[in-house]
Amino acid sequence: MIRLENVTKQYKNGVKALNDASINIEKGEFVFLVGSSGAGKSTLIKLITKEVNPEKGKIFLDDKDITSLSSRKIPNIRRNIGMIFQDFKLLQNKTVFENVAFALEILGYSPRDIKKRVPKALDMVGLSKKLDSYPDQLSGGEQQRVSIARAIVNKPSVVIADEPTGNLDPDTAWDIMNLLKDINRRGTTILMATHAKDIVDNMKRRVIALSDGKVIKDDTRGGYDYES
């Protein structure tokens, strides 16, 4: 599903954000990505989504080598990745329906397909009655649910969640985690970067820990404890 083979990414300031990192995530897994700020989590995500390219190594997504893709092929790769962010990244001048639909419009879906897919995605996240609401009329948890609907409306093979509970209170954070677990149970691979120790410890899913660009822990038993 997602495979990095001896990947190194070095920025112009000389810092190696990833250093000879090898990771293999199987289809249907739920994996936490942990590490302190600057450990390499954001760079790893950017490599998978083709925002940056590595200096060394290979990257595979859905068994396809995406290491050296031409720019015109990158949109096709991104069709298979749903993104969820800490700050939601919703368009404030668009309704809930329009925010989710916009993701499909960019991908070239027909108006007919959009009208079928968007309500299903919003129903899955429990917002079927909020179609015409605007982001500022929603709670933080509801806004995150909109962003999750936007991430899954195209039925991607993998969802990458970057600190999805970072701006939420504990109860709402667990509501979001239960929703992500449900999406994972339906077969979607989930890679979640987080600093939320309580969530990682309680979920007991595989944990990959980074420090100074290196993989220092890869444990299927879960748990946040690692040496940074």
Interatomic CA distance for residues 156 and 48, integer angstroms = 14
Residue 95, pLDDT above cutoff 60: yes
Instruction: Specify the residue for token string 């999750």.
Output: 148
Instruction: Specify the residue for token string 């000389």.
Output: 14
Percent of residues, the chain, with pLDDT higher than 70: 99
Amino acid at 57: G
Of 216, 220, 219, 222, nearest in space to 35 by CA: 216
DSSP class of 80: T
Q: What is the pLDDT of residue 214?
A: 96
Query: Count of alpha carbons within 13 Å of 103, Cβ hemisphere only?
Result: 28
Q: What is the pLDDT of residue 222?
A: 84
Q: What is the pLDDT of residue 180?
A: 98
Give the pLDDT band (50/70/90) at residue 224: confident
Contact in structure between 138 and 75 (CB atoms under 8 Å): no
Give the pLDDT band (50/70/90) at residue 14: confident
Domain edges within the chain: 92-155
Residue 228, pLDDT above cutoff 70: no
pLDDT tens sequence across 137-190: 999 999 999 999 999 999 999 999 999 999 999 999 999 999 999 999 999 999
Q: What is the pLDDT of residue 226?
A: 62
- The crossing angle, in degrees rounded to 10, of helices 140-152 and 170-185 is 20
Q: What is the pLDDT of residue 221?
A: 86
> The whole model's pTM is what?
0.94
Contact in structure between 143 and 115 (CB atoms under 8 Å): no
Average pLDDT, the chain: 94
> Stretch 56-79: mean pLDDT, rounded?
92
Contact in structure between 20 and 57 (CB atoms under 8 Å): yes
CB atoms within 10 A of CB 214: 15
Strand pairing of 158-162 and 189-193? parallel
Give the pLDDT band (50/70/90) at residue 227: low
Q: What is the pLDDT of residue 3?
A: 97
